[in-house]
Amino acid sequence: MTRLILADDHELLRSGLVSILESDPDLEVVAVCDDGPTTVAEAARLQPDLVLMDVEMPGGDGITAIAPVLTAAPSARVMVLTMFDLDDYVAGALRAGASGFLIKTTPPRELIAAVKACAAGESTFGPSVMARLVQSYVERPTAEAAPAGAAELTPREREVLRAMARGLSNAEIGAELFLAETTVKTHVARVLLKLGVRDRVQAVVVAHTSGLAD
């Protein structure tokens, strides 16, 4: 059972999301919140598996609340509720520790699949969000230095990282590189370890800010 906290200040949307999520027997919404501070407090109390976080809420935006949520519930993951035109929020959320992005107009079946994927550690932002994120980094004036561990990446691991940076899933990477999905998972785990990041989304940030995605 995946335990969720939903943070959104729009009551109608919140109710609809709860109904959709709890239609799946493997998902349980353990709390709903309408502001950042309450979300942090509930995350500390309930220790959820995943927090669905709206961007704009009273008492500080959802981006500001991401880091405190992850401090309060270290094993939790955060998926941001966003729209296509929030480029700055996407980059900021990644830097704060978000592990995925959910477009508010996502169809119910895809919503459930995305939530499960994020809770399981998969990449959960689609090509449209990825394209905007990449563009925001392309427009940055300077690149940041790659982590020291990047020098230890093998050629195959670099290929996998570049594929991750394009938003490909493990299955898609396997098909493109002619690898078994289990082999891809092993390469991804090694990439995360060498880069010193907690998940594949943070690896994508490193890839784009340091030029490893080129």
pLDDT beyond 70 at 137: no
Q: Among 136, 151, 172, where does a domain finish?
A: 136
User: Do 60 and 129 fall into the same domain?
Assistant: yes
Task: Say if residue 160 is in the same domain as residue 204.
Answer: yes
Same domain for 188 and 105, yes or no, is no
Q: Are residues 130 and 189 in the same domain?
A: no
pLDDT of residue 128: 60
User: Parallel, antiparallel, or unpaired for β 50-54 and 77-82?
Assistant: parallel
**Host domain of residue 170:** 143-210
Residues 120 and 187 in one domain: no
The CA-atom distances, in angstroms, between 184 and each of 1, 15, 91, 98, 190 are 26, 38, 26, 22, 10
Please report the pLDDT score of residue 76 as a whole number: 94
pTM exceeds 0.75 for this model: no
The CATH number given to whatever domain includes residue 150 is 1.10.10.10
How does pLDDT run across 87-117, given as a tens digit for each residue? Answer: 567 777 777 888 888 878 888 998 898 899 8
pLDDT above 80 (res 176): yes
- Is the four-CA dihedral 70, 199, 127, 146 of positive or negative sign? positive
**Both 148 and 125 in a single domain?**
no
* Co-location of 118 and 153 in the same domain: no
